[in-house]
Amino acid sequence: MPAKTGAEYIAGLKERPREVWIRGELVEDVTTHPALRNGVRSVAALYDMQTDPALRDGMTFNSPSTGDAVGLSFMIPRTADDLSQRQGLMSRWAWYSCGMMARTPDFLNVNLTAWVAAAEYFGRNRPEFEKNVLNYHEYIRENDVTLTHTLVNLQPRRSASVVDNLDDQVALTVIRETDSGIVVRGSRMLATLGPISDEIAVYPTRTHLLGEEAWRQAFSFAIPCDTPGLKFLCRESFDLDRPHFDHPLGSRFEEMDAVVFFDNVEVPWERVFLLGDVDMCNNYGGATQAGGHTAQQVTTRCVVKAEFILGLASLMVETIGSGTVPHVQEKVSELIVFLELLKACLRAAEADAQVNEWGVMCPAAAPMQAGRNLFPRMIYPRMAEIIQLLGGGSLMALPAEADFETSIGPEVERYLATDSASARDRAGVFHLAWDVACSAFGGRQVLYERFFGGDPVRNAMLMYNTYDREPSMQRVREFLDRKD
């Protein structure tokens, strides 16, 4: 099947009802439920871009199996040009949601595409797993499967080390092997897009290492979201079912996060990619270098989001006429610095890209890591804060669309207009600012950026342990030895 359309994505979700719980309700159809349907529409619109004659250029490539046009994020990048083409796709999908939908399908597609190039790694101890990875990639590429993922186990207590304290009763655990597959029980967090995806990929992460004894929690697999025993427990929805004017982001881009419970779920052998080998699971990220590819998607989206926030802040300033105030100029300049810094990280990672041992062109890790460390800790929370500081009370003096149609409508029009904007235009800009920096949707955006790529403290520790600091130390040693 060639790259799918939005209608095909929606039909697929309808055909395969999954167990999704939201505020005490078992959702019958995720495509029509008010908490989820607008997010579904947005994902569908992304898929439509692949087939719409006016938009599809640069969104697909020819399948190596069938020659059909399939999603470009399934292409193994072999050259700098491949990376740059893929970045074009990432940027277009990110712009659709102004960077607010993070789990557009390209995020996981490029991850699993990095696996297929490194398929030999998966088969080192169990040759059948190499074949499973190759077949699965072909399956998701040819069927344009929409994926979610869960990497982190729920934990009843935290460990102070990078090795998680796993409890067999809580963490996702293999409880038996059968002729047809493995049976797993336990829980995982947190599947963003989970309730509205086709399949869920479950695999290890370098920021939550497995201890030697954790071989029953050491695995990688992928299964359909409607697999019996799989349950998604959603947080409350930030789509309040209000007009786009009132909640421009929440009413469109709810990608939903869910905790996932696995109640004796059977994973067929052909869907198992790693099993029981703690070292292979702990080293999988470094070996496949998949993280560099997802980092390209993440940094591209962060650039888009930063540009969007800069544009929004500038419109807010123009609307209320605060552009001559020195601290306002300083804050907008701070947004410019953030944007240019992120663009530089992305550009450096692509300019310094190298072919890895699997023949894949990989963006350079260090500039990506710099962006990934700065954005969650310093850049995005500060951007949201700047939107609040620039907005002040205008973020409260905020008529809903319906207010304009009431008997106080003429007063709303008169009193809320500014020198440069009508009351309606002002409300439009500031509703958007509210949804970015103050609403529940906006709060979740900040939390997402802080934690989606793993705990920022652990990420910083990973950087400390993997970045080659020896050349820098050597320069200092040489200076200390200097006699002149």
| Contact positions vs ligand FAD (CB under 6 A) | 149-152, 158-161, 189-192, 257, 444, 447-448, 451-452, 454-455, 457-458
Minimal distance, residue 109 CB to ligand FAD, in Å: 14
> 337 or 447: whose CB is closer to ligand FAD?
447
> 245 or 452: whose CB is closer to ligand FAD?
452
Q: Return the bridge partners of 480, or none.
A: none
Minimal distance, residue 160 CB to ligand FAD, in Å: 5
**Tokens found for residue 18:** 């999954």
Rounded CA separation 111/132 (Å): 16
Minimal distance, residue 158 CB to ligand FAD, in Å: 4
> 231 or 424: whose CB is closer to ligand FAD?
231
Rounded CA separation 156/151 (Å): 16
Q: Is 213 in contact with 220 (CB distance < 8 Å)? A: no
What dihedral do alpha carbons 317, 318, 322, 323 form, nearest 10°? 90
With a CB cutoff of 8 Å and minimum separation 6, the contacts of 19 are 26, 230, 231, 232
> 347 or 444: whose CB is closer to ligand FAD?
444
> 142 or 455: whose CB is closer to ligand FAD?
455
Minimal distance, residue 448 CB to ligand FAD, in Å: 4
C-alpha pair distances (Å), 212 with each of 124, 281, 282, 474: 19, 11, 10, 35
> 305 or 331: whose CB is closer to ligand FAD?
305
Minimal distance, residue 96 CB to ligand FAD, in Å: 19
Burial class (CB in 10 A: 0-12, 13-18, 19+), 197: buried
> 244 or 444: whose CB is closer to ligand FAD?
444
Minimal distance, residue 189 CB to ligand FAD, in Å: 5
With a CB cutoff of 8 Å and minimum separation 6, the contacts of 484 are none
Minimal distance, residue 409 CB to ligand FAD, in Å: 38
Q: Is the dihedral of CA 467, 470, 473, 479 positive or negative?
A: negative
DSSP H stretches of helix in 400-452? 409-416, 423-437, 440-451
